[in-house]
């Protein structure tokens, strides 16, 4: 199924300022081209114990979080969808898994949530296969689990399905195995990337770890991850296009300036998402970035973003 038009092609990344009803309506009123919900689970979750977010670590290199999927639970998000749609832009529901008292198996949780959100009128689902802060091991690093989760969704859900992926860094064989599976499963878009997992920061004044859950380890977002995200976007883009496959890649990671967004488009992203910068700046970030992107396009003789998607050139010798 065709994915909804995201206009402008910039949205929030699932998580930051997208948990509560108020936050979601603020995104609806903002310059973002869609509203993406916080990743929802079967049961409401309070998330991990505090401190679980270092919003701005030293030198503004980024944020580190170990939120543990704090969310209202899928039933509440399903109730909110019709109201959110009144803002006149696509509503994308991010769907995740967490162990809960109902003890539903992994794939069933995803399916129950996905069906409810489709029924509620969501325009697209973003299947989060990459949460790093529950066990440290995301579903997307196990191809068998990716198949287990995605096959029933592909069969039973009619609205477009994107998948949110973790960085594969230097695990190239794993990347290729999963990318080929995504082609086989005919996902409608790939969103890359989730936080760079298992990072640590230390407060020097108190000589204390910044975060409490999971031994202090969290997921990194913000400027520090920009080159990592560009590598992930470009790798998926090339993998698909070299095989004649048109799956769109949505870029997420490290965008705080208009130039960062342009780099994502050049690397192959057709839509970009903003997480840490939204946390820092609030929903006005979308207007600032998009105005800048439009100015850059005009100054460089382009009339639309489509003209630069994947248009990065290989470096040449002198
Ligand atoms: C506080 C916080 C909460 C997040 N929660 C989620 C989430 O629920 N689902 C998800 O897919 N990604 C989540 N992320 C990851 C972001 O969506 C994004 O992939 C990552 O931060 C990289 O983008 P950035 O560099 O723009 O921050 C979260 C990130 C932060 C900082």
C-alpha 268/C-alpha 108 separation (Å) is 33
Question: Could you tell me the pLDDT band of residue 133, with boundaries at 50, 70 and 90?
Answer: low
Please tell me whether residue 205 adopts helix, strand or coil conformation: coil
**Atom 14 of ligand 1, nearest CA residue:** 15
Please tell me whether residue 200 adopts helix, strand or coil conformation: coil
Kindly give the number of the ligand 1 atom that is closest to the alpha carbon of 55: 31
What average pLDDT does the segment 265-274 reach?
Answer: 99
Which residues lie closer than 8 Å to 64 by C-beta, 6 or more apart? Answer: 53, 54, 57, 199, 200, 201, 210, 211, 218, 219, 220, 221
Report CA(11)–ligand 1 centroid distance (Å). Answer: 12
Q: Which residues pair with 45 in a beta bridge?
A: 71
Which residues lie closer than 8 Å to 22 by C-beta, 6 or more apart? Answer: none
- Compute CA 261 distance to the chain's CA centroid, rounded to the nearest angstrom: 15
pLDDT tens-place string over residues 56-77: 998 999 999 999 999 999 999 9
Check residue 217 and give its pLDDT: 95
**Beta-carbon-side half-sphere exposure of residue 192 (alpha carbons within 13 Å):** 31
- Predicted confidence (pLDDT) at residue 153 exceeds the cutoff of 80: yes
C-alpha 181/C-alpha 163 separation (Å) is 12
Check residue 2 and give its pLDDT: 86
Lowest mean pLDDT among 61-75, 129-143, 193-207: 129-143
**Atom 18 of ligand 1, nearest CA residue:** 194
Identify the residues whose C-beta falls under 6 Å from ligand 1.
13-16, 38-39, 53, 63, 65, 67, 69, 94, 128, 164, 194-195, 221-222, 225, 252-255, 274-277, 279
Lowest mean pLDDT among 70-84, 135-149, 296-310: 135-149
**Atom 6 of ligand 1, nearest CA residue:** 15
Q: Which domains does the chain have, with CATH numbers?
A: 10-47+69-197+221-308 (3.20.20.70)
- Predicted confidence (pLDDT) at residue 136 exceeds the cutoff of 80: no
Please give the structure tokens belonging to residue 31.
């310059």
What average pLDDT does the segment 133-150 reach?
Answer: 88
Please give the structure tokens belonging to residue 73.
């639970």
Report CA(69)–ligand 1 centroid distance (Å). Answer: 10
Pick from 12, 14, 218, 280 the residue to mutate for probing ligand 1's pocket: most ligand atoms within 8 Å of its CB.
14
């Amino acid at each position: 199924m065709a994915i909804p038009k995201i206009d402008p092609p910039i949205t929030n990344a699932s998580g930051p300022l997208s948990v509560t009803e108020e936050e979601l309506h603020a995104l609806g009123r903002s310059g973002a081209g869609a509203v993406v919900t916080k990743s929802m689970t079967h049961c409401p979750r309070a998330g991990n114990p505090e401190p679980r977010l270092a919003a701005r670590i030293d030198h503004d290199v980024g944020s580190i979080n170990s939120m543990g999927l704090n969310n209202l639970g899928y039933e509440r998000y399903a109730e909110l969808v019709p109201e959110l749609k009144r803002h006149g832009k696509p509503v994308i529901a991010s769907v995740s898994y967490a162990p809960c008292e109902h003890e539903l198996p992994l794939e069933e949780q995803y399916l129950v949530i996905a069906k409810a959100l489709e029924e509620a009128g969501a325009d697209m689902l973003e299947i989060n296969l990459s949460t790093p802060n529950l066990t440290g091991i995301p579903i997307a690093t196990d191809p068998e689990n990716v198949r287990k989760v995605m096959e029933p969704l592909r069969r039973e859900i009619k609205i477009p399905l994107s998948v949110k992926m973790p960085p594969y860094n230097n695990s190239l064989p794993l990347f290729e195995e999963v990318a080929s599976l995504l082609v086989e499963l005919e996902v409608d878009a790939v969103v890359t990337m989730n936080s760079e997992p298992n990072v640590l920061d230390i407060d020097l004044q108190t000589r204390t770890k910044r975060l409490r859950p999971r031994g202090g380890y969290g997921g990194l977002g913000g400027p520090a991850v920009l080159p990592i995200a560009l590598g992930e976007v470009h790798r998926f883009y090339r993998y698909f296009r070299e095989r004649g496959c048109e799956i769109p890649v949505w870029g997420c990671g490290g965008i705080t300036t208009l130039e960062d967004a342009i780099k994502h488009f050049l690397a192959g992203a057709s839509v970009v998402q903003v997480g840490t910068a939204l946390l820092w700046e609030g929903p006005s970030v979308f207007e600032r970035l998009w105005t800048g992107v439009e100015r850059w396009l005009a100054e460089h003789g382009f009339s639309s973003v489509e003209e630069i998607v994947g248009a990065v050139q290989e470096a040449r010798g002198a």
